[in-house]
Amino acid sequence: MGRDYRRKPSSRQENAPVGPSAVPNRSTWATRSMTKPVGRKPAIMNENRPTLYRDPADMTEHRDLVDALIHRHSTPATCLTEPAPDDDTLQRILQAAESAPDHGGLHPWRFLVIDGPALDRLGEVFVEAMRRKDPEASDELLDRERLRAQRAPMIIAAIAREEAGHAKIPEVEQLLSAGIAAHHVLLAARASGFGAVWLTGLRVYDEHVMAALGLAEDERLIGLINIGTVKEGAPTKGKRRRQATIDRWAG
C-alpha cells in the first residue's frame, strides 16, 4: 500500500473560525506528436524536453521573463487598493504555484484567500494574538495590529505542510518547495497587473493565528501575500540590487 499523504487531524482546528480552502488540482503536462517523414513511425515528443528549433517569438517571451525577474519588486501594502484580482485571474495566479519544484510530488503547500469581511475578522485575530503575547499592550499597538489586515484588498495566506521523517524527501526540501510556490504566486500577481508583497512578522509565526486559520499540526504559516491594484505614486523600484557574479568551483 502506498504512503498516505493526507493531512493529520489537528487540535488547532477545534475552534478555528476559518477552514482550509480548496487547493487547485495539479495540472499535468500534455504530450504532442511530431510527424516524421513517410515510412517512419510518428514520435511522441515531451514538451518538457528542449528542441533544436525554437520559435523566435517564444525566445522573446523567455527574454521578457528574465527581464521581469531582474526588475521584480514588492509594492508596500499601504500602496495597494481595490480592485483585487477577480476569481478567474486569481485561479490563474494560484495555478502558477503548481509549477514549483516538488521532489516526490508531495505538494507540501496550500493557500487561503482572505478578502472582504474576512479581512476584518483577521484583524481581530491579530489583535487577540497581540493581547496574548502582551496583556498590557496599548490601544495604539492593538489598532496597528488590526490595520495590518486591512491595508490591501486581498491577502493570500501561504501555508507549508511538512511530513516529518519522510524516507526520501527531508523537511527542508518540502519547506523550500512551499516557499517557491508562494513566490510563484507573487510573480503571477505582478504579471497579471497587480502589486503584491510577501509579509511575515511575529503574527505569521503565532500559534493563535495559525489555529484561527485552521492549520493542522503538520502545517505552518510562511507568509501573508498582500495583493491589490497599485496606487498612483507607489514606488516603482525595489531595493538596490547587487551585481551578480559568476563563481566556479574548480575541484
Q: What residue segments make up the domains of the chain, in order of their start?
A: 73-118+149-230
Please give the average per-residue pLDDT across 221-247, as a whole number.
92
CA distance 38 to 48: 26
CATH class (in words) of the domain with range 73-118+149-230: alpha beta
Render pLDDT for 32-64 as a digit per residue (tens, 0 to 9). Answer: 333 444 444 444 445 554 444 456 566 577 788
Say yes or no to pLDDT of 74 above 90.
yes
Q: How far apart are CA 156 and CA 24, in angstroms?
A: 14
Three cell numbers, residue 35: 510527424
Q: Which of 185, 120, 116 is nearest to 156 (CA)?
A: 185
Q: Is the pLDDT of residue 201 over 90?
A: yes
Residue with cell 479581512: 119
CA gap 100, 27 in Å, rounded: 12
Backbone φ and ψ for 164, nearest 5 degrees, come out as -70, 140
Cβ(72)–Cβ(187) under 8 Å?
Answer: yes
pLDDT digits (tens, 9 = 90+) for 94-133: 999 999 999 999 999 999 999 999 999 999 999 999 999 9
